[in-house]
Amino acid sequence: DAMVIQNPRYQVTQFGKPVTLSCSQTLNHNVMYWYQQKSSQAPKLLFHYYDKDFNNEADTPDNFQSRRPNTSFCFLDIRSPGLGDAAMYLCATSRVRGAGGPGNEQFFGPGTRLTVL
């Protein structure tokens, strides 16, 4: 089945130790998103890629970076994780971006829960 896959499902890192989260998709969608969801809060968009075009949200900390080497894969790099970065990280895809329409529906991965010690 076509899907959005996130690895690992659970990641533990140490304070200040760089960590990379992975997302892959078999949907061949043009747009890939990364969201951060802290405990009991709504998900918050960090950035998205439209093809290779990177779009950062204005309030995303510099500590968070992303790479998209090809259509299928997108990585979230946290350069120096702090305790406040412990959260669920959700990857999502959509076929197109922009105004509403069938191609805008977002498909979510299962998430990676990051723990910072």
Residues that bind other proteins (CB under 8 A): 6, 31, 33, 35, 41-45, 48, 50, 55, 57-59, 90, 92, 97-102, 104-111, 113
Least distance in angstroms from the C-beta of 95 to other proteins: 12
Choose between 16 and 105: whose C-beta lies nearer to other proteins.
105
Least distance in angstroms from the C-beta of 19 to other proteins: 19
Residue 63 phi, psi (nearest 5): -60, -20
Q: Which one, of 5, 12, 10, lies nearest residue 32 by Cα?
A: 5
Tokens of 44: 């918050």
Q: Are 72 and 65 in contact (CB under 8 A)?
A: no
> Which residue do the tokens 């075009």 mark?
53
Choose between 35 and 80: whose C-beta lies nearer to other proteins.
35
Choose between 35 and 81: whose C-beta lies nearer to other proteins.
35
Residue 19: count of CB within 10 angstroms of its CB: 18
